[in-house]
Structures are given as C-alpha cells and as structure tokens.
Structure 1
Amino acid sequence: MPDRLFTQVLVADDDPSTREFLRGALAAMGYAVTLADDGAQALDLARRTRFEALLLDCRMPAGGAIDVLVALRGDPAALSHDAVSMATSAEVPADLRKTLIDAGFACVIEKPCRIASLANALRATLGIEDDAPLLDDEEALLAAGDASTMHALRSLFRDELQHLVPELESLATDPATLIDRMHRLRSACGFCGAARLAAQAKVLQNHVLEVRWASPAALHRFRSEVERTLDALA
C-alpha cells in the first residue's frame, strides 16, 4: 500500500529508462508523477503546475538541473517557485555535490539509486503521511504500564524535545552525532506514543546515513514535527 497520496512530483531526465524507473518507484509510494525529458519542458511544467518536489537530472538537453532551478527561483509567478528540489546524476563527485547544494538543492541522488534511498530523501524533506497521529495514548499506556508513569515519561520527553530544537543547527554539521541522536530519540518516542515523530526521526536518520549530510529542508521538516509534538504534549 502506498503511504502517500497525490503529492505532485516532477521527474525530469533525458534517459527513458531512468524516467520510467523513477515514475514506477514514486507511483508505488503514492506520489503523482509528471515526466519531462529535457530542461525546457521541465521549466515550463514547473511554471504552470504546483509541484511539491522536483527531481532534476544534472545533464539534460535545453538546460540541466541548475539551469532549471535558477530560472524557477527567479520567477516569483512560477507555481513551483518554492518546490523542494533534488538533483540526480550518474556521477556525484564532492565538488559537484557542493555546487548543487550551494545552488539550493535539498539533496543529490546518485543514479542508479535504491528505491529506499529515494523514499528516504523525499520523506525527509516532504514529511511522512499527514494522517499519522502525533500522540497515541493507547500505545503509550501499553509501553508505560499505567497512566501515572506515562505522564511522567511524557514530561521528561517534553523537556528532551525542548532542548533538541536549538541543537539541530549544530547537529546538522555533525552527521554521526545526528544519527545517534535520532536513534535515541526514536526509543523515547516509543515509550511516549509519539509515533509520527518517531517515523520522521527514522527517515532523517536513514537519509543522513546515506548522504552524510542534513539539508536545511530536511531539518526544517523535522523541526516542524518536533514543534507539533511539543504542542500536542502541552
């Protein structure tokens, strides 16, 4: 079963087999996919359609990923002006990765990519499914054993989250510590019934494990989930 329905994603790549792989993989995850085979078509579609995410190949006829993104960001009237953008490339040396990140891409996906890597990259920036509960009292009671213990654990959990928010920026520059922090947070989420935050932490953890970097878009999404969970705990 797909875990997301009707999130609009534009895939632009001049290789037919790559386009078909990405279309099938994303559709199986529940995304609605539109295809483009060159930079000009991708830019035209992104101007006329509101996409949540763009997957842009670095080398395409009529403009590669950077060309498309620069033109799109420079056009305030474009419906996908603020869409999360991800670059794809068959080769991603360190200098190219830095250039793409500096240009504003949320992440860089090396082709051929695993479906799990693609899923983690998208969920880390777009978020998990919207109908997941922020707090599950039944699960928390099962984990804690009684209501008094559950409330005590949630009080400690709230304090932990309040300290985590200002630490996120520094954690972004230390992938190993961020990965460990997400691992420990998932355990605390389990005891407190914070299923949604646990899922987002797992996605961020897996994404950083693969790319060894936490993009501003991924950190913004995770911070939003932490803040929503804090509101629910209050």
Structure 2
Amino acid sequence: MICTQPPRHDVRGRRILIAEDDACSRLHLVHILLQMGLRPRAARTGRHLLRLFAEGGAAVILLDYHLPDMPAPALIQQLRQERIRQEVPPIIVLSAGISPGQGLQLQQMAVRHILDKPIDTQALQELLTALLPPWLYAEDALPPHRPAAQTARLRSLLADELGEWERRMPELACRPTQLLEWLHRLHASCALCGAPSLGQQAAAMETRLRRGKRLSDSALQALQHQIRQTRQALTGIPGPVTSDGISNRPPDLQADAGRSRHRARPKDQPGSPRRPPRN
C-alpha cells in the first residue's frame, strides 16, 4: 500500500551488516544502529559476514579494514562475487589508520566511504542517512523505537562477549599491557550495556594498573567470578518476548546478584499447621 503522505526520509528497519573483531567497537556500532531504528547483524570475521550476506543481504555494510581472517579488499572482492545473486550494497570501511597505498587500493575498488576510528557517531549517522533511500511503502515503516528492547539486544551481545573474555582471562593475566587495554574495553562495554557492577570493578583495576601497581591473583579471580556472575544474570532471566524476538524486560543485574542467595519464604498456605510462637 502506497503512503498517502509524501515519503519521509525514514531509514528504520534496514538490515545493516557489521564486520568488526573488536568486541567494544562492535557493541558501540550496534548501539548506534539500534538508536537509529536499524536492524544490525554483527560478525567477528570476514567469513561470518559472507554467511550473513548470503542469508539475507544488507542495505549497507560496515567493514573493519583489519579482520583476523582477511583484509577488507579481499572481503570486498568476495562480496562482489555474490553479485550474480544480489547486488552488493554500499560499503563503509572503518579503520584506525589506512596507509596511502591501502587507501588507493580501496579507491580502485570503488569504495568511497572510509571512517576513521574512534567512530564519530554523528558522522556515521549522517552517512547512513545519505546512503539509505527513504521508504515509500507503508509496510516498510517500523513502530517507534523501543529503548527496553534495544537495551536487551545490547545486553545479549554483551553476554556473548563475556564468554569470550572469560576464556581469555588466564592468557591476559600474564600480559599487563594487553590486560590494561582489555579492562578499558570491558569498562566501556559495561557502561554501554548497563552492567555497572562489573564496569566499576574493571575501571578500578584499570586505574590500579595505570598507577604501576600489580593486580593480585585474588583480584583477578574476583573479576573472573564477577564476569561469570554477570553473564549468568544476562542469560538466565526470561522476559516477555516481542514480535521481533527480543526480550522486552532486560535483566536487573544488581537485583539479580542476590536473588539466588535470598529466596523469599512462602507464606503459610490455608489449612497448614502454624509454627508455635517462640517464647
């Protein structure tokens, strides 16, 4: 059904693919896209992105230049091999630093959009709005943004990342420089997704390392325990599921911390014997 009103430049509902191996950057990008009402799908590797693209295409692709399994030019070339089945959408390359030779190679591949890291939120939003066409049909429009659903989606992504970080803890404990960078990213991700207890613990440990102090084994064990507890809280509380499959009741991490330890005693049932009062 054609809209009776003139078309608005509404980008909501478009499927955006992200290829980014850094967990904090990936969460930040997802957060920006959700705020715009877009439908982000994130991949850690180029091969994962190729699978997502084959499954359902995309309106725009955000592509980190340095992925663990292939550089951006190789991935772009493989994406364009899919043109027999579907057109390749606009590609935005993200990088903390591209050499003149790498930039020239991207230009020769007709890649016109490169954003430097750290990503400027406003610049990314303006570029996406320019690249995405306005919807013309009423069924293309989505309902207004749902902050609770967006928060639940971000927390679901954080839960996945915490599993990866928990596995890397023993390795990072022996590498102070990498541990410092990792703690900074963990703090930022927790602040973004609403996990304050873990974020504050990571920030305190980051400050201690920056002051040249050593982290004790007990402190690292406490952090690993907090990561595990936070991940369980994020994944273990069911909530009402909306039509798009996203929980609409994100878990309350602070309340959940003591929920398993403090269970309310059931009230006496009618007809059950009462305990005699203590003298």
**How does the TM-score come out when normalised to structure 2?**
0.43
Moved more, 34-43 or 86-95: 86-95
1:91 equivalent in structure 2 = 97
Cα 1:4–1:75 change in 2 (3 A) is closer
Alignment length, in residue pairs? 129
Partner of 2:73: 66
Please say if residues 11 and 135 of structure 2, whose CA atoms lie closer than 8 Å, have aligned partners that are also in contact. Answer: yes
What corresponds to 2:276 in structure 1? none
Who is 1:202 aligned against?
none
Find the counterpart in structure 2 of residue 117 from structure 1. Answer: 123
Aligned counterpart in structure 2 of residue 9 of structure 1, from 10, 13, 16: 16
Tell me how far 1:78 sits from its aligned partner. Answer: 4.5
Q: Which of 56, 71, 75 in structure 1 is aligned with 2:82?
A: 75
Alpha-carbon spacing, 1:52–1:102, altered in 2? closer, same or farther (3 Å): same
Change (3 A) 1:111 1:47: same
Which digits, 9 at most, give the CA deviation of each residue in 1:18-54, with x for residues without a partner? 0000000011011100000011101111122120110
In structure 1, the partner of 2:49 is 42
Deviation beyond 6 Å, 4+ runs, structure 1? none
For 1:78 and 1:68, the matched residues in 2 are separated by 17
Query: Displacement, 1:11?
Result: 0.6
Give the Å deviation of 1:96. Answer: 2.6
Alpha-carbon distance in structure 2 between the residues aligned to 1:55 and 1:65: 10
2-structure distance, mates of 1:26, 1:102: 28
**Structure 1 position 128, deviation (Å):** 5.0
C-alpha spacing 1:28/1:34, structure 2 compared with 1 (3 Å): same
Contact 1:72 1:78 in 2 (8 A): no
Q: Which residue of 1 aligns with 2:35?
A: 28
Which amino acid in 1 is paired with 2:58? Answer: F
Helix, strand or coil for the counterpart of 2:18? Answer: strand
Local SS of the residue matching 2:41 = strand
What is the CA distance between 1:130 and its match in structure 2?
Answer: 5.1
State whether structure 2 residue 63 is matched by structure 1 residue 56.
Answer: yes
Deviations 1:179-205 (A, max 9, x none): xxxxxxxxxxxxxxxxxxxxxxxxxxx
Q: Distance in 2 between matches of 1:34 and 1:66?
A: 21
Secondary structure class of the residue paired with 2:21: coil
| Partner Cα distance (1:43, 1:76) in 2 | 12
The structure where helix makes up a greater share of residues is 1
Aligned residue identity for 1:58: Y
Structure 2 unaligned segments of length 5 or more: list them.
Answer: 1-8, 138-279
Structure number with bigger Rg? 2
Tell me: CA distance 1:78–1:23, structure 2 relative to 1, closer, same or farther (3 Å).
farther
Report the TM-score, using the length of structure 1 for normalisation.
0.50
Residue among 110, 115, 129 paired with 1:104: 110
Residues of 2 paired with 1:130 and 1:118: CA distance?
23
Of all paired residues, the percent bearing the same amino acid is 23
**What CA distance in whole angstroms lies between the structure 2 residues aligned with 1:44 and 1:35?**
11
8 Å contact from structure 2 (residues 11, 132) kept in 1: no
Q: Secondary structure at the match of 2:15?
A: strand
Provide the rounded CA distance (Å) in 1 between the counterparts of 2:112 and 2:81.
Answer: 17
Q: CA RMSD in A?
A: 2.1
Match of 1:185 in 2: none
Shift of 1:5: 1.4
